[in-house]
């Protein structure tokens, strides 16, 4: 329930009480409506962790994905990749709702947020050897719905290297690919995509 609706319910209840026209039945009806709103738009706090190769193919790093907020359709999606020693390697934070095509009034908690987290856990870790070959910008987008953020030579070097990369959605029809940059000692977006 939004704060506006909650305050409106309290105001109606208060005005009914001071006017002397509030029956117990009306008060119960207002309370019941308040409870329906809370059930319809519940809060959520779902977090999952996993190990993954991010910096290289030998050391494992930690991945934490969380969706939390009240109500859930106003929640925040957080993706965090850290070393085992706790050093931040990559951080993504954005509103949860644009990451799912489910209308906000129909979000099922915990099913829909958990489905997004599970999708990232399964589809996120990738190998650069599986990336598509370079093509000119328009052809690359037309064939793969991706746009490179790095130059051709860097992309081809990355693709041939077989390094770990990480994919995640940035919208329900958009996504980013991230790779660990040894010079910057953090993950950088090297490719973005969308329909």
In tens, the pLDDT along 158-190 reads 999 999 999 999 998 999 999 999 999 999 999
Q: How far is 19 from 13, CA to CA, in rounded Å? A: 10
What is the pLDDT of the chain when averaged over all its residues?
A: 86
| Same domain for 138 and 114 | yes
DSSP, residue by residue, 66-116: EEEESSGGG-EEEEEEE-TT--EEEEEEEESGGG--S-GGG--TTHHHHHH
User: Which of the four pLDDT bands, split at 50, 70 and 90, describes residue 28?
Assistant: low
Per-residue model confidence (pLDDT) at position 22: 47
| Same domain, residue pair 125 and 163 | yes
Average pLDDT over residues 101-126: 89
pLDDT of residue 20: 52
Residues 64 and 125 in one domain: yes
Query: Are 109 and 175 members of one domain?
Result: yes
Q: Are strands 174-181 and 186-194 parallel, antiparallel or unpaired?
A: antiparallel
Higher-pLDDT residue of 25, 48: 48
| Residue 194, strand partner residues | 174
Range of the domain at 25: 3-40
In this predicted structure, the answer to whether residue 38 has a pLDDT above a threshold of 50 is: no
Domain co-membership, 17 together with 70:
no
Residue 191 clears pLDDT 70, i.e. is over it? yes
Q: Are residues 144 and 83 in the same domain?
A: yes
Give pLDDT tens digits for 49-76. 999 999 999 999 999 999 999 998 899 9
Contacts of the segment 114-121: beta carbons below 8 A, 24+ positions apart:
114/46, 116/67, 116/77, 116/169, 117/46, 117/48, 117/65, 117/67, 118/48, 119/169, 120/65, 120/79, 120/168, 120/169, 121/48, 121/50, 121/63, 121/65
If asked whether residues 25 and 104 sit together in one domain, one would say no
Residues 21 and 92 both lie in one domain = no
Whether residues 95 and 137 fall in one domain: yes
Whether residue 11 is found in the same domain as residue 51: no
Tally the domains of the chain. 2
Same domain? For 23 and 67 the reply is: no
Judgement on whether residues 69 and 111 belong to the same structural domain of the protein: yes
């Amino acid at each position: 329930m939004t704060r506006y609706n909650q305050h409106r319910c309290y105001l109606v209840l208060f005005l009914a009480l001071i006017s002397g026209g509030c029956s117990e039945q009306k008060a119960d009806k207002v309370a019941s409506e308040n409870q329906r709103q809370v059930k319809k738009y519940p809060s959520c706090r779902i977090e999952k962790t996993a190990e993954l190769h991010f910096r290289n193919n030998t050391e494992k790093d930690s991945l934490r994905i969380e969706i939390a907020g009240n109500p859930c359709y106003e929640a925040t999606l957080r993706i965090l990749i850290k070393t085992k020693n706790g050093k931040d390697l990559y951080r993504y934070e954005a509103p949860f709702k644009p990451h799912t095509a489910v209308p906000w009034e129909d979000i099922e908690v915990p099913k829909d947020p958990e489905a997004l987290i599970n999708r990232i856990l399964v589809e996120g870790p990738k190998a650069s050897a599986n990336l598509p070959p370079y093509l000119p910008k328009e052809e690359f987008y037309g064939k793969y719905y991706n746009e490179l953020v790095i130059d051709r030579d860097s992309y081809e070097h990355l693709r041939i290297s077989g390094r770990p990369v990480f994919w995640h959605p940035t919208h329900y029809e958009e996504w980013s690919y991230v790779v660990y940059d040894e010079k910057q000692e953090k993950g950088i977006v090297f490719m973005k995509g969308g329909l």
